[in-house]
Amino acid sequence: MTVTFDPDVSHTLDLWDYRRRVHDIYRKMREGRPGEETWAAWRAARDLLFGEHPQSPIEDRGGFDGLNYFAYDPEWRTLARFIPVDNEPEVIGTSDEGTARFVKTGTLHFAVKGNQASLDVLWLDAYGGGVFLPFRDATNGETTYGGGRYLLDTVKGADLGHSGDQVILDFNYAYHPSCVHSPRWSCPLAPPANRLGFAVSAGERLAPGQPASTGT
């Protein structure tokens, strides 16, 4: 029997598969022992996904030889205390000059590399919802994308876990939004409240010569 797919159906199934694979990647990270070996496995899994999957944001997958990262540093891993707030509507800008609707649901307070900091936790204002944690820092516009990077996106399974009100933050796992790799994607940008006053030299970084668009 020959099965044919309508293009729109095939696109939907590809996206479904892509998100399932991202969920699987982070599940393995949560089950693994914290450290460089587990992080290296995450990198390898992302490179495989980006290099082969039809939903990859990489335009030239044939010439793709892996994403760029800062060197692993265990001191960029920390626990953050989640303090809930009354839900506050939050509309943030996107890379294509549009907007995305979220709800501020709490704040994460933490210390990392000698810095005291906090980040607002956003909840996707749509069916099912999900935690979203973008951030900006002093590397933006130089070695990382000007619009910031992401740490958590539970809609796609991107999180390392929590226990009680303690949330694991590991900036070695910070990653760029898809719009960094292709203008076909529209991505939420980190809001002003999530701008850290120090350089986060961990996680995904731009490739040499890759534009560091401001994303403001």
The residue with tokens 């809001």 is 191
Q: Are residues 81 and 170 in the same domain?
A: yes
Q: How many domains does the chain have?
A: 2
Confidence of residue 178 (pLDDT cuts 50, 70, 90): very high
pLDDT tens by residue, 184-197:
889 999 999 999 99
Could you say which of 16, 41, 66 is where a domain stops? 66
| Same structural domain, 12 and 39 | yes
Residue type, 180: V
Same domain, 99 and 164: yes
Residues 6 or more apart in contact with residue 195 via CB below 8 angstroms = 135, 136, 137, 148
Identify the domain boundary among 17, 48, 66. Answer: 66
Same structural domain, 101 and 15: no
Strands 77-93 and 99-112, how do they pair? antiparallel
Residue 124 lies in a domain: yes
| Domain span holding position 147 | 74-205
Nearest residue to 146 (alpha-carbon basis) of 156, 132, 157, 135: 135
Tokens representing residue 120 in the block = 């607002």
> Is residue 18 domain-resident?
yes
Mean pLDDT of 194-213: 90
pTM to 2 decimals? 0.91
In a domain, 2, yes or no: no
